[in-house]
Structure 1
Amino acid sequence: MSRVYNFSAGPSMLPVEVLKKAQNEMVEYGKSGMSVMEMSHRSKDYEEIIFGC
């Protein structure tokens, strides 16, 4: 895969490792049994994400 560099304003390139981790966690975040998109914003797992930022 050839990577394209984005030098414009806004989002820039992310390391491939970060993209792969995000790809895997789309299906299941950690060992929660669900993706982040399916979690309640009041759940313990989601709070760990938010407060860990």
Structure 2
Amino acid sequence: GNPDDIRREVDRIRGILGPNLIISPSHEAILPNVPPENIVAMAEETTGLKCEF
């Protein structure tokens, strides 16, 4: 998916499970084929903060 897909999925899951949901990447780490933009999108959508590099 792309960053917009990630944001929609975070919102969808939060809508189902509520505000106390802990969102994190799968497994023990982020897999090497995950685009950095998707990681940023998940972090931004989860925290409500914008990441700047």
- Greater relative contact order (CA < 8 Å, ≥ 6 in sequence): 2
Q: Greater share of helix residues, 1 or 2? A: 2
Q: TM-score, normalised by structure 1?
A: 0.29
